[in-house]
Structure 1
């Protein structure tokens, strides 16, 4: 499915820029991708931090504020009961790619993908680099994920976050 995404070559990126926050997924080839888009209120120039839990769940956090580690931690532990429920994600390949929608999914205009590796939580908010940053390739044994979105959430006067959760679907 990744090869069917042509964000740069066929201007698919322009299509998603025009849809609002209520859209959580988009058709790509014969499949469906979920959309994780920067929350401009949190900051449209900030990093998207990606975390994977032991159960295979994935959280993408966009945080802002002077106490960055606390904001990221609170975003990860914030209850999801009031989050918006989005489109489910089916991953039949065993690999989940996270990359800029402005790039193609494969070919000369694709972002390079690097394996997701464990590491410490970030200590500070950093501005994105001026170069093309690689995407992540996350290996997973889960084939279906539930998707939830929490848009701008203010923790106090200076600290806020947005969060996207991919939760492994329970199989019976």
Structure 2
């Protein structure tokens, strides 16, 4: 029954991975032109917020791609112990994407002439902010019901009864130990 969350999160993971690669490509091209001082290129342009926007866009894309790799491992195993890794990296990727989203909004608000590559990059960052947030919410949907995914209250994970302590087969003495 836990396949409901998995069936929704898996396509969103691959969509976000594909979009993060596009953002990485456009941000890399634009930051290379910006560093070289070629802002007069027909598809570049920019304003005072361009350097900040490009820096956070490339950072969000790199962290987002790595986050999707750990998310893919979690989708494959779909267990509570892999949820911690996937959830924490997805939160960090979303936070950086949200910062890039803020700079994209400021970049649009400042105005001026911006090339088509910068406008595409702004659009992808805005879309990724919301799809990444949806992905994070889907990862943690198991908190509300085990129908949607692995929860945090698995009975067999990390909880032992007082008499369930593991005991050595040899008894109380451990071979090779010194006191």
Larger fraction in helix: 2
Task: Compute the TM-score of the two structures, normalised by the length of structure 1.
Answer: 0.23
Larger fraction in strand: 1
Task: Compute the TM-score of the two structures, normalised by the length of structure 2.
Answer: 0.23
Larger Cα-atom Rg: 2
